[in-house]
Each structure stands twice: as structure tokens, then as C-alpha cells.
Amino acid sequence: MFIYNAPIEKLIALDNNIFLLQVYCPEIASVIQPGQFLNVKVSEGVFPLLRRPFSVCDVEGESLFLMFNILGEGTKLLAKKHIGETIDILGPLGNGFNLQGSFDTAVIVAGGLGAAPFPYLIRKIGDEKNIKCFVGGRSSHYVIQYGMKNILTSTDDGSLGYKGTVVSLLRENLTSIISSKPKIFACGPNAMLRTLKEFTIENNIECEASIECVMACGFGICQGCPIETVDKPEKYSLVCKDGPVFNVRDVVI
Amino acid sequence: MSKVDLTVRVGSLKFRNPILLASGTVGYGNEISDFVDLNKIGGIVTKSLSLKPRKGNPPQRIVETPAGMLNAIGLQNVGVEEFLKEKIPFLKKFDVPLICNIAASTVEEYVECTRLLTSEEFIKGFEINVSCPNVKEGGLQFGNDLSAVGKITQRVKAVTNKPVFVKLSPNVSYISEFAKVVKEEGGDAVSAINTLVGTSFNINTRKPKIFNVFGGLSGPAIKPIALAKVLEIKQKVDIPIVGIGGIMNWKDVVEFMIVGASAIQIGTLNFIDPTASGKMVSDLENYCIENNIQKISDLTGSFILQN
């Protein structure tokens, strides 16, 4: 874990109110793994007071990329940052995705801003495995395809791609997924992850998901981000320290 | 050798400087030790311990508010037995006074926890949490009851020779009345303040943002209230005070000491900048040098009220 004042190198506005922030942070860039996250203080003062967690979106050389949409006061401030200004980054935090194993195809399942951790994961996998991406959102506006490969899209309203949830889209493609010796890597709203968990258990597909949770510190001292595990229901684990990536079979989502 | 004497006393306990780390904001020391040299800070107060492990509240436990945060962790902790077996050995690697914070649902549980912990030599004192707002039993219902606070103080003191601080609730009309009872029943100091009861609702769903509905407000938003409570105690009762509430920098430490705190605790700030408490020590020393203060303890209660 490091704390750095990382200079902003670039702020890129993608479509749909989505931003990519590129910061220079060689210490973290050299060690962070896909699925790990950063806890960022976007201002120096007490507004906003707490850090904001962001999964690492990508790494290029000594630079980190964070993906965000303007949701609250913190991200509003972040979108107004200028090149050369610094942000205070704590990281790398948590446990990332396990890219080792006997699968042939990495199946990415992303809902909305759940797309954030995958450009880096796809970069890390490189040509070693096949990659298939299933990207969903409420409407075309919420479907983020940045950094993805071999994409199938879904929207709840049918404005882009398959009409329905991204898990329904997976179901439609079950035969080809199963035959590709898959492992699923997922991130998105809890409702999506719950149905995905059922789907992967029914079909005996290994699945890791990055779980989102409100937290303060990001490294275990505030105890603000509990998650129940299947094997120890009498005791909470913490999303920040024990996750944020879990095997979906292990946790109660 | 420091040019300024930064040591402070709280009752019979001596700390190398007035900066302690507050209960519930540093767990059992291991995570924070990556950021702060625990050999340099004044002391550390553990996460509240209960007799048996507590699971704590379901999520959502935390919500940010203007210049503050609400938390309702629900006293999640490993329990006294596992603390002694699994957590103390790590803390023993450091030269830092350890205060054990105890939270319980009954008077008997406070007593039993203290009895079990007091034989551990590394524990230098106790902080009795009679004011947690986030659990259904015990907690605040004790903190609002003068006779209960008195009884807990007296019964806990009866089973330990170590100093006992009682952490007071600000959710009362006159906090000094509680400090008075603590003193009368033999308590060594009061910690003031615990969090303030608050809540926050989602205007779209009309549901509370925190599972527990109510949470404890902390952070810089509560600092003026905490200062007023410390001052009230200082003016009414002759008992050492450990000041807590929204301290964000060394200036806040000085302010708490001026209104009456002998030592202070850093809480919410640990979540934001876990290195902050370590950096404050040299800033405090510089302040003392610039203001020709030889002993930082001379600041305690040095307020001047007339204009």
C-alpha cells in the first residue's frame, strides 16, 4: 500500500458522461493487478471528506487509468481537474482477479460502470486466452465498450443490442460459452451479480466478481464494508480487504 | 532529545505525547501500522471488545455527510478471548501504551471483560464504551443513564488496578453530570465525546441509507460540539479528559487541549489519511517552540474566557 500525490496527465471524456483519468503513478502502476482498486481523495479539504474507491481501469507504462461517471460531488470535482493537478491516491488495495487456471476463454460480464476494471484485465490476458465480452446497461447510454473485445451488448430497453439483461444475453449464448472452456469475470450492480451467480452455479461455470460497496478507509480499519460468506455466516468478511473480487460461490450477494 | 516536553498524563497513565488513536478507527493496530510508526504515537485504543465475538450490522454501514460521516458498524469485534490469543501478540511488538475499549450489553459483561483482560500486562488501561449509538442493547441506553454509568464505573474499577476511562455520550443534556458520576465512582478519566446520533435518507426510495437507520456522526462536523462538551466538563468537574471529535490536524489538537483535554484521540481522520497522526507530533513540537511552551501539558485547560 502506498499513498501518492499523483499528477493528472490526461482527462478524457468518453461518450455518455463517462470519463477516463490518466495519472502518473509509477509505484502503483508497477504492482497493481486487474480488479484491485484505489481509494482517492479528490480534494484537499473536508468536502468531500472521504476517499472514493475506483477500480483500476487500465495501466500503461507508469500511468494508471481510472474510469468514472459523474454521480455525486466527488466525481463532479474530479471531472473538473486540470492536467498537472494532483490527486491523492491510496493503493493498490484489495485482491484482484485470478487470471491463472485452466480456462481457455475469459468471458467478461459487465453492467454499466462495472465495465471499469476490464480494459486492464483484457490487456493482461493478451493473446494467452480467448476473450468474449458481454456488456449491458439500462439503455445504450449506459453501455460502456471502452477497452473491450469481441463484444455482445444488451440493454433493458432494447436501444442497443439484445433487449434484456446481460445475464439473459449470456443464457442465449450458453452453448457457445460452455464449449469455449470459460471462466467468467464480472462486475456490475448487485442485482446483476445475483442472477449471474445463479446462472453460473446452474451451468457449473467458474465465476469471479468484483463487488461494489460503500466504504471509508479501503484497507480494513473502518469495518464499513461487510459481506457475508457462505462458509462462515457467523462472521462478516470485508469487501475492501477480503475482496473486492470474490468467487461468486463464496459470498452472499 | 526533544526540546519540548510532549509527555502528558491522564490519571496515572503517562503517554509520550498527547496523540492517541481512537477506538474503532484502527482495528487492532495491524493495518494502521503500515502507515504510522506506532512507537512514536502516544497510545492506541482498540476497537470495542465484547465478551463474545459480535458480527456487527449488515451493510450499508457508512454514509458520508457534509464534513462528516455516519457509521453503524454495530460493534463488530473478535471478542475478548480471540483478542488475547490472536491480536495482542502483534501489538506487543510495539512500544506503545495499549488501552482496551470495552463495550457490553450488561453490567456483568463489562465486569467480566475487564476481569479477563486486566491480567494481560501489555494492556495499560481501559476505556469503557457506555455510549455506542449503534447497537440494540446496552450502548446508548447506558450512556443516557447516570446511575448505570456510575454502577458500571464502580463495578469495573473493583476488578482492575489499571486506569479506567469512561467514554461519554454527547447525546445528553449535560455531559458534565456524567463526568461527575464517573469521578465519584472512582473512574480515572473521561473520553469525550463519542459520536452523535444521526441519520440520512434517500429521497428517491424514502429509505434510510444505513441499515441500522441511525448511526454515529463523526468527523470535523462535530468538532465544535466536542470542544463545547470538553469545556463544559473542564469547568464543572475535576477529572482528566481525553478529547475526541473531528480532529483533522495539529491545530485541532491544540484547541482541544486549551479547552481542557489532557490528551486527544484521532478517529475519522485515520480513514482519510492514515499517516496523519504520525505527522502531527512534530507539528505540535514546533507550535510549542514558537510559543515558548516548555511542557505541552501546560496547554491543558489554559483557556482565557474574558474578552
Q: Does B55 touch chain A if contact means CB atoms closer than 8 Å?
A: yes
Residues in chain B with CB shorter than 8 Å from the CB of A87 are none
Note the pLDDT tens digit of each residue in B126-154. Answer: 999 997 666 655 556 788 899 999 999 99
Residues in chain A with CB shorter than 8 Å from the CB of B68 are 49
As a whole-number percent, the residues of chain A with pLDDT over 90 amount to 94
CB–CB of A217 and B271 under 8 A? yes
Distance, CA of A20 to CA of A120 (rounded, Å): 13
CB–CB of A3 and B275 under 8 A? yes
Note the pLDDT tens digit of each residue in B162-177. Answer: 999 999 999 999 999 9
Residues A19 and A84 in one domain: yes
Q: Are strands B189-192 and B164-167 parallel, antiparallel or unpaired?
A: parallel
Q: To which residue does cell 460461490 refer?
A: A249
Average pLDDT over residues A53-61: 97
Beta strand segments in chain B, E = 8-10, 13-15, 19-21, 43-45, 62-65, 68-71, 98-102, 123-129, 164-167, 189-192, 196-199, 214-218, 241-244, 263-266
Q: What does pLDDT average to over chain A?
A: 96
pLDDT score at B135 = 60
This model of the complex carries an ipTM of 0.95
Average pLDDT over residues B189-194: 98
- The CATH number of residue A205's host domain is 3.40.50.80
- Considering only the beta carbons, identify the residue of B55, B59, B66 that sits closest to A234: B55
Q: Does B32 touch chain A if contact means CB atoms closer than 8 Å?
A: yes
Average pLDDT over residues B95-117: 96
Residues A121 and A187 in one domain: yes
Residue ranges per domain, chain B? 8-56+74-196+218-299
pLDDT score at B140 = 64
SS3 state at A19: strand
Residues A150 and A221 in one domain: no
Residues A115 and A69 in one domain: no
CB–CB of B272 and A225 under 8 A? no
As a whole-number percent, the residues of chain B with pLDDT over 70 amount to 96
Note the pLDDT tens digit of each residue in B214-245. Answer: 999 999 999 999 999 999 999 999 999 999 99
Shortest CA gap A242–chain B (Å): 13
- Considering only the beta carbons, identify the residue of A49, A227, A241 that sits closest to B219: A49
Q: How many folded domains does chain A comprise? A: 3
Shortest CA gap A191–chain B (Å): 15
Shortest CA gap A1–chain B (Å): 8
Q: Could you tell me which chain B residue has the CA closest to the CA of A47?
A: B67
Task: Look at residues A4, A5, A8 and name the one whose alpha carbon lies nearest to residue A84.
Answer: A8
Average pLDDT over residues A53-77: 94
pLDDT score at A110 = 98
Note the pLDDT tens digit of each residue in A183-217. Answer: 999 999 999 999 999 999 999 999 999 999 999 99
- The CATH number of residue A18's host domain is 2.40.30.10
Q: Does B73 touch chain A if contact means CB atoms closer than 8 Å?
A: yes
B2 pLDDT more than 70: no
B57 pLDDT more than 70: yes
- The CATH number of residue A248's host domain is 2.10.240.10
CB–CB of A227 and B59 under 8 A? yes
pLDDT score at B133 = 62
Average pLDDT over residues B5-24: 97
Q: Show the cell assigned to B58.
A: 449488515
Q: Range of A35's domain?
A: 2-93
Q: Show the cell assigned to A188.
A: 456490475
pLDDT score at B136 = 59
A33 pLDDT more than 80: yes
Q: Could you tell me which chain A residue has the CA closest to the CA of B28?
A: A221
Contact present, B109 and B136 (Cβ < 8 Å):
no
CA distances from A227 to A219, B19, B29, B134 (A): 14, 33, 22, 18
Residues in chain A with CB shorter than 8 Å from the CB of B26 are 221
Q: Show the cell assigned to B160.
A: 482492575
Residues in chain A with CB shorter than 8 Å from the CB of B73 are 222-224
Residues in chain B with CB shorter than 8 Å from the CB of A223 are 24, 27, 47, 56, 61, 73, 76
Average pLDDT over residues B34-62: 96
pLDDT score at B134 = 60
Task: Look at residues B219, B197, B232 and name the one whose alpha carbon lies nearest to residue B266.
Answer: B219
Note the pLDDT tens digit of each residue in A122-134. Answer: 999 999 999 999 9
**CATH architecture label of B8-56+74-196+218-299:** Alpha-Beta Barrel (3.20)
Domain's final residue, options A51, A67, A93: A93
